Amino acid sequence: MMHSKKAGVSFDSVEFIVKIFVLIFVLIFLVMSTKSFFNMKINADTPRFEVVEQEILGSPQLLYFDKSIGQFRYGILDWDNFTADNLNSTFNVNEQNTLSMNLTLKVFNGSSVNTKNIYLNKKYYEYMLSKCSAYSVDSDTTELVSLPVLVYYKGRIRNGILTARIIINYGG
């Protein structure tokens, strides 16, 4: 008795089709993974102020020293220590620095507000600001940020606001 071949799909051909689909899926996955890997960009601008903030709020030159515990109080700025000299020593400013900033510290003392304005690398800040008009300053060059801080002022810890305008020259 002869068996005739039926027109249909055998088990081998189904297995072959499944292997093709798996291969296509793996190739698509590899292409997408590779493409996303090469298109990844590191955004260095986002954490720029966060690094500066950590330097300021962690600098012994600018912090309040609590004599009762014999330690600097991290994150509490001392009004009297908030000077340009202390800021410049915190960031080790020299002639090659391309980082400069204007910091304004406001302290809320009851119904009054006391303000102190200091500069990091003031000569460079003024030079760069003179080169930038109000229309040509862009986010790659300057950053203006405000954040709430605690300030030791006249024997008490008070609420304050630290505003920073940072200018960075990337050599462009």
Q: Is residue 89 part of a domain?
A: yes
Q: How many CB atoms lie within 10 A of CB 151?
A: 25
The per-residue pLDDT for range 61-112, each reduced to its tens digit, is 999 999 999 999 988 999 999 999 888 888 776 656 667 888 999 999 888 9
129/113: higher pLDDT: 113
Q: Is residue 82 part of a domain?
A: yes
Residues in the chain: 172
Number of independent structural domains in the chain: 1
Q: What is the pLDDT of residue 133?
A: 52
Q: What is the pLDDT of residue 129?
A: 76
Question: Do 157 and 76 meet the contact criterion of CB atoms below 8 Å apart?
Answer: yes
**Does 43 score more than 70 pLDDT?**
no
Q: Is residue 69 part of a domain?
A: yes
Q: Is residue 17 part of a domain?
A: no
Q: What is the pLDDT of residue 45?
A: 47
Question: Do 148 and 161 meet the contact criterion of CB atoms below 8 Å apart?
Answer: yes
**H-helix or E-strand spanning residue 168:** strand 156-168
Rounded-to-integer distance, Cα 31 and Cα 28, Å? 5
**pTM to 2 decimal places:** 0.64
**Does 39 score more than 60 pLDDT?**
no
Rounded-to-integer distance, Cα 45 and Cα 91, Å? 18
The boundaries of the domain holding residue 146 are 48-168
Q: What is the pLDDT of residue 55?
A: 84
Rounded-to-integer distance, Cα 24 and Cα 145, Å? 49
